[in-house]
C-alpha cells in the first residue's frame, strides 16, 4: 500500500510554534507556515513582515500570510488532508474564527493551543482533534522536578504513571540493568540508558542506548530513563545522593 504523505500546516508562530516547526523539519516532514493578517492595521502588517523575515532566516521556506478567518483565503493554501496546528497564544477570538473557517473547508485534523483553562474548555467543545496546553503541562513538569531535586527530568505521562531521568545511584555502579532486575525487584521499567562521556556524538550530545543496553556496566557517566508508578520511581530517585 502506498504511503500517504501528510503535510503539517502551522498557523501562528510564537516560541511554541517554532519548536514544533523545527522538530517537524528535523524529521524531514512537509511543513507550511501561515501567519494571520487581516491587513487592517499598519502596525500588524509591520509585525508580520518582521516575523516572516525571522522565519526565513531560520531556514523555513514555505511561508504565507493571509486572513486565516476567511475560508476562501485558507482554501488557497490548505487541503482537507492537511494536519493543521494553531500554535499561537494570542487573540482567542481569531483562533475560534480560524477553526470555523478550517471546518468550512472540511479540514479533518485540527490541533489548537490553549493558554487558559476556560479557553481549553471552549476549544474542546468545538470538536477539534486535540487541545494543546503547553504552559499547564510544563508548569506541572517543573513542579514535579522541583519537589524531586535528585531527578534530572520527570513527567506524568498518564494518571499515576511517571517517566523520570535519574543519575545512577552509587549502589548500582559497576552492575548492569540486567543484573539489577528492575522489573522484578523495583517494579519499574528501564526505557533507555544515556551516556555523557567521550562516547558522545559529533554534536557533543549524550549518547542514547534504546536497545542492547541491559548488559552495559553502569558508571557515573550514565543516566537511567525509567517508567513506573509514582512511589516506585520516587524510591529510585531517593537512592541518588
pLDDT in tens, 45-54: 556 666 777 8
Residues 21 and 127 in one domain: yes
Query: How far apart are the C-alpha atoms of 76 and 228, rounded to whole Å?
Result: 47
Residue 185: enclosing H or E segment and its boundaries? helix 182-185
Mean pLDDT of the chain: 87
Residues 40 and 69 in one domain: yes
Residues 106 and 157 in one domain: no
Question: Does residue 43 sit within a domain?
Answer: yes
Q: How many domains does the chain have?
A: 2
Residues 186 and 123 in one domain: no
Residues 142 and 128 in one domain: no
Please state, in angstroms and as integers, the Cα–Cα distance from residue 229 to each residue in 89, 125, 154, 157, 176, following that order.
33, 32, 12, 11, 22
Cell 552492575 appears where?
175
User: How many CA atoms are closer than 13 Å to the CA of 16, on its beta-carbon side?
Assistant: 18
Nearest Cα to 163, choosing from 231, 225, 240? 225
Domain end call among 112, 132, 152 = 132
Give the contacts of 195 (CB within 8 A, at least 6 positions apart). Answer: 206, 207, 208, 209, 221, 222
Residues 38 and 145 in one domain: no
Angle in degrees, CA 22, 221, 160, rounded to 5: 65
The CATH number linked to 84 is 3.40.50.720
Domain that holds residue 231: 138-237
Query: How far apart are the C-alpha atoms of 193 and 216, rounded to whole Å?
Result: 9
Q: Mapping DSSP to helix (H, G, I), strand (E, B) and coil, where does residue 106 land?
A: coil
Residue 202 pLDDT level (bands cut at 50, 70, 90): low
What's the pLDDT score for residue 1? 43
Question: Does residue 46 sit within a domain?
Answer: yes
pLDDT in tens, 87-99: 876 788 999 999 9
Question: Does residue 52 sit within a domain?
Answer: yes
Please report the sign of the dihedral spanned by the C-alpha atoms of residue 162, residue 167, residue 172, residue 174. Answer: positive
Amino acid at each position: 500500500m502506498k504511503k500517504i504523505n501528510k503535510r503539517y500546516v502551522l498557523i501562528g508562530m510564537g516560541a511554541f510554534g517554532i519548536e514544533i516547526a523545527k522538530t517537524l523539519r528535523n524529521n524531514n516532514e512537509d511543513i507550511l507556515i501561515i501567519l494571520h493578517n487581516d491587513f487592517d492595521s499598519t502596525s500588524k502588517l509591520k509585525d508580520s513582515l518582521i516575523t516572516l523575515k525571522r522565519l526565513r532566516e531560520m531556514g523555513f521556506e514555505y511561508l504565507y500570510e493571509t486572513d486565516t478567518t476567511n475560508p476562501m483565503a485558507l482554501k488557497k493554501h490548505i487541503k482537507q488532508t492537511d494536519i493543521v496546528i494553531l500554535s499561537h497564544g494570542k487573540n482567542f477570538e481569531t483562533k475560534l474564527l480560524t477553526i470555523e473557517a478550517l471546518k468550512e473547508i472540511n479540514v479533518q485534523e485540527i490541533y489548537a493551543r490553549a493558554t487558559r483553562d476556560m479557553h481549553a474548555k471552549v476549544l474542546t467543545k468545538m470538536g477539534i482533534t486535540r487541545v494543546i496546553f503547553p504552559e499547564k503541562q510544563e508548569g506541572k513538569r517543573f513542579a514535579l522536578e522541583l519537589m524531586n531535586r535528585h531527578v534530572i527530568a520527570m513527567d506524568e505521562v498518564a494518571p499515576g504513571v511517571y517517566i523520570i531521568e535519574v543519575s545512577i545511584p552509587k549502589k548500582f555502579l559497576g552492575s548492569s540493568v540486567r543484573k539489577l532486575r528492575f522489573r522484578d525487584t523495583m517494579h519499574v521499567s528501564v526505557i533507555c540508558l544515556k551516556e555523557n562521556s567521550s562516547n558522545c556524538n559529533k554534536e557533543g550530545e549524550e549518547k542514547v542506548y534504546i536497545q542492547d543496553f541491559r548488559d552495559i556496566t553502569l558508571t557515573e557517566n550514565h543516566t537511567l530513563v525509567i517508567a513506573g508508578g509514582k512511589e516506585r520511581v520516587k524510591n529510585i530517585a531517593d537512592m541518588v545522593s
